Amino acid sequence: MTNKKETLIETLRGSTAELKKSADAFSKLAVTDIAGFDAIYEFVQCLVEVTDAQVAMQAALNDYMDRKMQSGYRKDYLEAKKRKESGEDDGAKLPPEGILKRCIFKDNVLYLPQVQLNKKSYATVKQWVEEAGGKWTGGKVQGFTFDFDATRVASVLMQGKRCNLQQDFQFFATPPEVADWLVSLAGDFSPDCKVLEPSAGTGAIIDAIHRVQPDVVVDCYELMPENKEKLSKLDHIRLLGDDFTQAEHSSEYDLIVANPPFSKNQDIRHVMQMYHDLKPGGTMAAITSRHWQQASEKVCKDFRAFLEEVTAQVYEIEEGAFKKSGTGVGTIAIVINKRDGK
């Protein structure tokens, strides 16, 4: 459907064309071509109508420009003029931050400014947008698309800032084959057992659990807003909150499966809290980094002693298992069966 702007432009262009034709006709009009009272009267009336139309058009244009100036157009115009005069609008000179500040975000698509960009700055912008979860889509779109509501990340990017979701939230998705293997280590899932995934991401481990037992309800936590949006669309889950380590807890779960964040020994804190939340007789399976195995920090020494006390089983994970997820950190899996009375 043609919008108001296109309709107005089309009308104005049509009117302009007719006026030009009239001007050409006037230039070729002889004094004797219009004779008689009626003809002269009609001719004068037409001129009056044209003049009235011109006055009305000028009044409408003045009113429009007044409203435009009041809406901040003058400021935008002056800023655009300044950028043009200083050469800032020369795409080849724009730094990555400048490119992002001139992007447009519409219908969950981030559009680059319509200028010729230099390759180096474009490569940096592409990297930053991909870090924020965007993917370049060509064809009719010609912009970066997202498979989640990207309003938050787009607002950060358009301030000329990075929004690295993996670094900010320590999110490295569990590959499906690793998730399936981890779930198998946890044991048998029945439809009525209580299950927890304390760092759910986009639901890779939850999907693996449901491949084994489609009807079981999985409780979960997730910090990243974009991931929480994706989780909300999954069936048979209960999203309990953001930060598992800060939530109120009780020992009620039969099975806990997780791939928690690693930085600053977060994986150790998660495992300790997961163990607390297990019922006696329950089982937990978690992926951790290898850091705690050799580190001299007290928290790592205490963790090694704890794992020995609860007779934890440790399984090696193949090097490079998480390479496609964006990290080369060495990982292992820990499985603990909580004994009665512990």
Higher confidence at residue 203 or residue 93? 203
Per the listing, tokens 């559009």 go with 111
Ranges 19-28, 53-62, 115-124, 286-295, most confident: 286-295
Ranges 38-47, 249-258, 297-306, most confident: 297-306
pLDDT tens for 118-177 read 889 999 999 999 988 899 999 999 999 998 888 999 999 999 999 887 777 777 789 999
Separation of alpha carbons 55 and 323, rounded Å: 69
Q: What is the DSSP letter of 243?
A: -
pLDDT tens for 236-278 read 999 999 999 888 877 799 999 999 998 889 999 999 999 999 9
Per the listing, tokens 């964006």 go with 326
Separation of alpha carbons 259 and 272, rounded Å: 13
* pLDDT over 90 (residue 289): yes
Higher confidence at residue 83 or residue 252? 252
Local confidence band at 25 (pLDDT 50, 70, 90 cut-offs): confident
- For residues 103 and 129, the answer to whether their CB atoms sit within 8 Å is no
Helix, strand, coil % over all residues of the chain, rounded to 5: 50, 15, 35
CA 107 to chain centre: 12
Question: Model's pTM, two decimal places?
Answer: 0.62
* pLDDT over 70 (residue 76): no
The residue type at 317: I
**Nearest Cα to 23, choosing from 53, 48, 47?**
47
Q: How many residues does the chain have?
A: 342
Sign of the four-CA dihedral 262, 247, 273, 280? negative
User: 162: burial class by Cβ within 10 Å (0-12, 13-18, 19+)?
Assistant: middle
* pLDDT over 90 (residue 314): yes
